[in-house]
Structure formats: structure tokens, C-alpha cells
């Protein structure tokens, strides 16, 4: 057959324009795509040989080879896979848009918006034109004696000819790499690009660059990828896709090595989750829970999280956030799916459904693995919790579907002991008559564990959860109740700790005290009306004179403080209620001093309440002067 020149169809011409001009910053993926095509070709030959053994050449060993020539500026990708006939070359390389104009329109739109997705639409071959100004393909179908040579400069035409391939069955793609001068880059820009590690067409003849790209994108391809050197061929890929091996056949050392490669963490993973999902969605996953958080874990600029995504062993992207919710961002690992469709002919909704199914499955496995660690090795789980507990708790307000799984593995400090407790353990220790789970939020453990709000509860031997992570305010709002027990803040008004009998026995005494201290209460209400909503008698306290509580329907102080720190106006502090301890001698003393002195003491008591809860004083200087003046006028003789 004489050499023929033909034109690409209109869609191919448009596609080439998108590939060459819109994907410039992602040029290096061309090698991933061409190697992936070679791997697919070998897969097809192996599959067909199961029923047609004569298709396999004698002593056939599946191999992908790279050959580069710096002087000629060429790079060849060579495989001994299934190969193509001339009609297949014309069909698969000369045409596209078999799904019609609508599908092609979606293809061009998505490729412009997400250039990293090239090849996921079955057009990976054309990525060669991002780095080459001429591409030659020489292929020979398994079982055939004639080969086909296809060649194009990407100008809208291609030539096709017949010639046997010297290697026999397989395909050779030779890229004639672009000259940078044709791209309009001067020498200064070229040198700057090289030093900055930017992409240059001529670097694709460099052995180090080829090794790096194979390691990055194609390390787990099942067949050896060899680079031809002056001495001997060097195999570039490990071919060790641990996630495809049965979990029982992978050693702890192999997991450690792979985890360190994946995460750049020098420590061993705390827990490994290795499984194969089967059923409506099939994929393999290899997930690692770290022992320690990275040094930059809490940095606001640290947005690198998510799982690595592979499709049929081929690396597609790192930090795939669609596969992992933010509250599990500490997890490292990967997902390899052979079912995940990346073809534009599929509807976008179908792609979303596939990713959603994988994500749902992955989240369930991670939470199940944490529950297993919680149940079987509490010490190790608590080590994990000290590192990543606050992050995991973010799931309560953000992932209602997994609320039940999450609430079972939450840990909190409590007044019961120095050991952290779960909600289940708290409920198991509750007194028979206790209806609520008591908690207090604050800035740090020392502050809340010494809070005056605890006085009455300690006296009655009631356990209180001590919550000191900023996320805890959202956690308790999301939980609301656990196993029929309401979560109740002890800093809210109306805290009812007495039984019916206790209330009845104290009723007469409370009435008498209220009448006795009425003048003081009225004076304090009037003088502090700009600071507090009300002043009331309470039996919440046993040794502290006063405290400030929030109304039941109002935002807690801790939430107000957090929102204020976030710059939200809704975080401005609202007036609260001052509760007084009528048994404290200061109030009887106030009855015997002049009104002016009562007002000053009211201010001091208000400031003390702020200090006790960890709040800043509005006027520290004034408070210091008031304390100094009080010390001057105190009758020390009466104290001896």
C-alpha cells in the first residue's frame, strides 16, 4: 500500500488545539498516559492469549521500554502488547466523538476547566502533542505480519503507511520533542525554568526526569518499565502495588516502608486498614492512621490532605479531597479503582455517585478501624486521641450520617478521674436518679477543673465532662443527647441538682434568705444593670460568692468568645445573669455597710465572677484600685 495522507475530523482538530494550548502547565502527564496505554495493550494481549495461545510470541515477556536520544531530541515509548491493525489506527486515532456532539462539548468544557483530567476521557494519546511537534506511531497487531506507521505534526493531517515492525507484535510511539525556541522562550527564561523545576520539552530526554515521572505516575504498573542506558536497561518502577495483594501477605515492614514513602513520615503508622471492596462498587484501599501529627498539621495554609487516587494502578491525582471528609484529613493512603469511570461519555451525576460510594465506604472503614482500636487497645487509641481527637470531633457537626459511629469513640476529660472517658462509660457511672449528662466548656483543663461552677456537683458527687477544645461547642450542639440522656451545660441558668425532697426541705430557708437579702439584690441589680441581665439567689455555689450564667435560650459564653475570635459580630457578649451564694458571709456584711460601699463591692464581685470563669476584665486598673482600697479599710483585728 502506498503512503497516504488524510485529514483529522473536525473534532480531532479542536481536541488537539485544546490539548496543545490549554494544558501547558500539565505537560508531564503525557508520559503517564502513553505508559498507561502500553499497559492496557499488554493486558489485552494477555487476556486474548487465554483463548488464543498462538498470539503470544515465543519467550514473550511483557515489557514497556523508554528510549531517549538527546541529540535527536526524541523519546520513544515501546511495548510488546496487542498492537493495532491499520483500520484500528484510523478508527481510534483519526476520529473521536462517537458519543455525539453533546458528549464532545462536555469533553472540551471539562478539559479546559480541569486539565489534570486528560487521559481520563480516552484521549491520552493526544497529550503527546503537548511536548512533541511530530509524533510517529509504529504498531503491529498480534498474529499479523504487517505493521502500520502513523505520523502527524498535529497540523490537522496525518500520514499512514504499511511496514513490518522489527520487534514484531506491539507498538512504538516516537516523540520528536519541541524546540523551546519555537515556543518563544529566551535563554534566560529557559535557565530560570530549569532551576525552578518547571517543565521543558527537552528535559524529557533526561534520564533523571524520566525516572522521576515514572516513579510519580506509573510506579505500580504491573509490567516492568525499562529505560535504555549505555550499559544495560534499568527498571524504573517497583511494580509493588501492595494494595492488590491479600492483606495477610503484606508484612508490617512493607507497610511501614510504603507508608513512609507515601507520607514522608519517618515513624511507623499507628494503624493500617487494608481491604478490597466488592459488590456494587469494586476498589482496593490502603489506609494509614499516623502515630503523630505532622509539624505543619495545624497551619492554616496546610491544605494538603485527601487520598491518592489510582485507576488500574495508574496514578491520577494526589490529595483527592472528594474521597475523604475534612475531619479525617489525618488519614494517609490511596484508593485504586478499576470501576471508577473517567470517561466523558458518562453523565457527571454518575461520576458523582461513584465517588460518593467510594467515600462512604472509605469513611465507614476508617471509623470501624478506630472503633476496633478503641475496643482492643485503649492505650493506643488514647495516644491517637491526644494527636487527632479535636480533628475527629469535627465530624459530629459536619457528618450526621456517621453520628452514631463517631459518638461511640469520643473521649473527654471528666471530674471522675484523670483518665479520659467515653460517653458510654459516663452513662454507666450515672446515678439512678440522674437524668442529664453534665458538661462545662472552657479554654483549658486547669481552668475548667477548678471552676466554681463545679462546687455543688462535686458536693453531690456528680460527674462533669470537661470540654476544652474549641470544636466542643459545636459537638454538644450536634449531639444534644446520648442514649436518652440530655447533654446539659452547668454554666446555664436553672441548673436543678436537688431532688424533690431536698427542694422541699430548703424551701422555707430559701424564702427567709431571699427576704433578708432583698435590699442587697435590688441594689446590685440597679448598679450592675449595664453589665448583667439580673441578679438572683442560687444554690449552685458552696464556697464562691457569685458566678455568671447564660440564659437557657442564649449562646454560651465560650461560643461567644470563639465567634468573637473568628471576627463574627454574633460573637459579641450578651448580658448574663449573676447568681449569688446566699450562704457566703459577704452578703450579710453588705447589709451593714453604706450604699456607696455596697456598690463598690458589687463591682468587685462582678469582676471576681469574670476572673473565675476565665474572662478578661473590662477595666483591670479600676479593679486593682478597688482591691487596694478594700485592703486599706479592712479591720484586720477582727480577722485574728
Tell me the three cell numbers of residue 331.
488519614
Range of the domain at 598: 500-639
Please tell me the predicted confidence (pLDDT) of residue 574.
78
Contact between 18 and 108 (Cβ < 8 Å): yes
Give the global pTM: 0.75
Number of other CB atoms surrounding residue 141 within 10 Å: 23
pLDDT at residue 110 is higher than 60: no
Cell numbers 454574633 label which residue? 570
Q: Which of 106-115, 230-239, 300-309, 536-545 has the lowest mean pLDDT?
A: 106-115
Please tell me the predicted confidence (pLDDT) of residue 315.
81
Q: What is the CATH number of the domain that holds 40?
A: 3.30.565.10
Please tell me the predicted confidence (pLDDT) of residue 3.
82
19, 29, 257: which is closest to 130 by C-alpha? 19
Contact between 229 and 69 (Cβ < 8 Å): no
pLDDT at residue 184 is higher than 70: no
Contact between 3 and 152 (Cβ < 8 Å): no
pLDDT at residue 287 is higher than 80: yes
498, 485, 492: which is closest to 436 by C-alpha? 485
What is the DSSP annotation of 195-259?
A: HTT---GGGGG-HHHHHHHHHHHSTT-SS-EEE--SSS-EE------GGGS-GGGS-HHHHHHHH
556/550 Cα distance (integer angstroms): 6
Query: Is 479 domain-assigned?
Result: yes
Total tally of structural domains belonging to the chain: 4
Query: Is residue 356 located within the same domain as residue 478?
Result: no
204, 152, 142: which is closest to 6 by C-alpha? 152
Could you read off the pLDDT of 442-492 as tens digits, one per residue?
A: 989 999 999 999 999 999 999 999 999 989 999 999 999 999 999 999 999
Query: Is 405 domain-assigned?
Result: no
Boundary-marking domain end, from 185, 218, 235: 235
Tell me the Cα Rg of the chain. Answer: 36
Query: Is residue 383 located within the same domain as residue 307?
Result: yes
Q: What is the CATH number of the domain that holds 283?
A: 3.30.230.80
Query: Is residue 357 located within the same domain as residue 447?
Result: no
pLDDT at residue 343 is higher than 70: no
Question: For the chain, what is the mean pLDDT?
Answer: 84
Query: Is 506 domain-assigned?
Result: yes
Q: What is the CATH number of the domain that holds 473?
A: 3.40.50.11260
Q: What is the CATH number of the domain that holds 512?
A: 1.20.120.790
Query: Is residue 38 located within the same domain as residue 161?
Result: yes
Please tell me the predicted confidence (pLDDT) of residue 581.
94
Task: Select, from the ranges 139-148, 311-320, 351-360, the one with the highest average predicted confidence (pLDDT).
Answer: 139-148
Query: Is residue 516 located within the same domain as residue 603?
Result: yes
Amino acid at each position: 500500500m502506498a503512503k497516504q495522507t488524510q485529514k483529522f475530523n473536525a473534532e480531532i482538530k479542536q481536541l488537539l488545539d485544546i490539548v496543545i494550548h490549554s494544558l501547558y502547565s500539565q505537560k508531564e502527564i503525557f508520559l503517564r498516559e502513553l505508559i498507561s496505554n502500553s499497559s492496557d495493550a499488554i493486558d489485552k494481549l494477555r487476556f486474548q492469549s487465554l483463548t488464543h495461545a498462538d498470539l503470544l510470541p515465543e519467550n514473550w515477556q511483557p515489557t514497556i521500554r523508554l528510549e531517549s536520544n538527546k541529540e535527536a531530541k526524541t523519546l520513544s515509548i515501546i511495548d510488546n502488547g496487542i498492537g493495532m491493525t491499520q483500520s484500528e489506527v484510523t478508527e481510534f486515532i483519526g476520529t473521536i466523538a462517537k458519543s455525539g456532539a453533546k458528549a464532545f462539548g462536555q469533553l472540551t468544557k471539562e478539559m479546559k476547566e480541569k486539565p489534570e483530567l486528560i487521559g481520563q476521557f480516552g484521549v491520552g494519546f493526544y497529550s503527546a502533542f503537548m511536548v512533541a511537534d511530530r509524533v510517529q506511531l509504529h504498531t503491529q497487531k498480534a498474529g499479523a505480519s504487517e505493521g502500520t506507521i502513523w505520523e502527524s505534526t498535529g497540523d490537522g493531517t496525518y500520514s499512514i503507511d504499511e511496514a513490518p515492525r522489527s520487534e514484531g507484535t506491539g507498538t512504538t510511539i516516537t516523540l520528536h520533542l519541541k524546540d523551546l525556541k519555537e515556543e518563544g522562550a529566551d535563554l534566560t527564561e529557559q535557565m530560570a525554568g530549569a532551576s525552578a523545576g518547571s517543565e521543558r520539552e527537552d528535559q524529557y530526554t533526561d534520564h533523571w526526569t524520566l525516572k522521576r515521572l515514572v516513579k510519580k505516575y506509573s510506579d505500580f504498573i504491573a509490567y516492568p518499565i525499562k529505560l535504555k542506558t549505555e550499559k544495560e536497561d534499568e527498571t524504573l518502577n517497583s511494580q509493588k502495588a501492595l494494595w492488590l495483594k491479600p492483606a495477610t501477605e503484606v508484612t508490617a515492614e512493607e507497610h511501614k516502608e510504603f507508608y513512609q514513602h507515601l507520607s514522608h513520615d519517618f515513624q511507623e503508622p499507628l494503624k493500617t486498614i487494608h481491604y478490597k471492596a466488592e459488590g456494587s462498587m469494586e476498589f482496593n484501599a490502603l489506609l494509614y492512621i499516623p502515630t503523630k501529627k505532622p509539624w505543619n498539621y495545624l497551619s492554616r495554609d496546610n491544605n494538603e490532605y485527601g487520598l491518592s487516587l489510582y485507576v488500574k494502578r495508574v496514578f491520577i491525582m494526589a490529595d483527592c479531597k472528594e474521597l475523604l471528609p475534612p475531619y479525617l484529613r489525618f488519614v494517609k493512603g490511596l484508593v485504586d479503582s478499576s470501576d471508577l469511570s473517567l470517561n466523558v461519555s458518562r453523565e457527571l451525576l454518575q461520576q458523582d455517585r461513584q465517588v460518593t460510594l467510594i467515600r462512604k465506604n472509605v469513611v465507614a472503614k476508617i471509623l470501624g478501624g478506630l472503633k476496633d482500636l478503641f475496643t482492643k487497645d485503649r492505650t493506643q487509641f488514647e495516644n491517637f486521641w491526644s494527636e487527632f481527637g479535636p480533628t475527629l470531633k469535627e465530624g459530629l457537626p459536619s457528618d450526621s450520617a456517621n453520628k452514631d459511629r463517631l459518638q461511640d469513640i469520643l473521649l473527654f476529660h471528666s471530674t471522675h478521674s484523670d483518665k479520659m472517658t467515653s460517653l458510654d462509660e459516663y452513662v454507666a457511672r450515672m446515678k439512678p436518679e440522674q437524668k442529664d449528662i453534665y458538661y462545662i466548656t472552657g479554654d483549658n483543663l486547669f481552668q475548667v477543673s477548678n471552676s466554681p461552677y463545679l462546687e455543688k456537683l462535686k458536693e453531690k458527687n456528680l460527674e462533669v465532662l470537661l470540654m476544652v477544645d474549641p470544636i466542643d461547642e459545636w459537638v454538644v450542639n450536634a449531639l444534644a443527647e446520648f442514649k436518652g440522656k440530655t447533654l446539659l451545660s452547668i454554666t446555664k441558668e436553672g441548673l436543678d441538682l436537688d431532688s424533690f425532697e431536698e427542694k422541699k426541705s430548703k424551701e422555707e430557708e430559701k424564702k427567709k434568705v431571699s427576704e433578708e437579702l432583698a435590699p442587697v439584690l435590688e441594689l446590685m441589680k440597679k448598679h450592675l444593670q449595664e453589665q448583667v441581665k439580673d441578679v438572683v439567689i442560687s444554690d449552685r455555689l458552696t464556697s464562691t460568692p457569685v458566678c455568671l450564667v447564660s440564659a437557657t435560650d442564649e449562646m454560651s459564653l465560650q461560643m461567644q468568645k470563639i465567634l468573637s475570635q473568628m471576627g463574627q459580630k454574633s460573637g459579641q457578649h450578651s448580658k448574663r445573669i449573676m447568681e449569688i451564694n446566699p450562704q457566703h458571709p459577704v452578703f450579710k456584711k453588705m447589709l451593714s455597710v453604706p450604699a456607696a460601699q455596697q456598690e463598690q463591692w458589687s463591682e468587685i464581685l462582678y469582676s471576681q465572677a469574670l476572673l473565675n470563669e476565665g474572662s478578661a476584665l473590662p477595666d483591670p486598673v479600676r479593679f486593682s484600685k478597688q482591691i487596694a482600697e478594700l485592703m486599706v479599710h479592712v479591720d484586720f483585728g477582727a480577722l485574728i
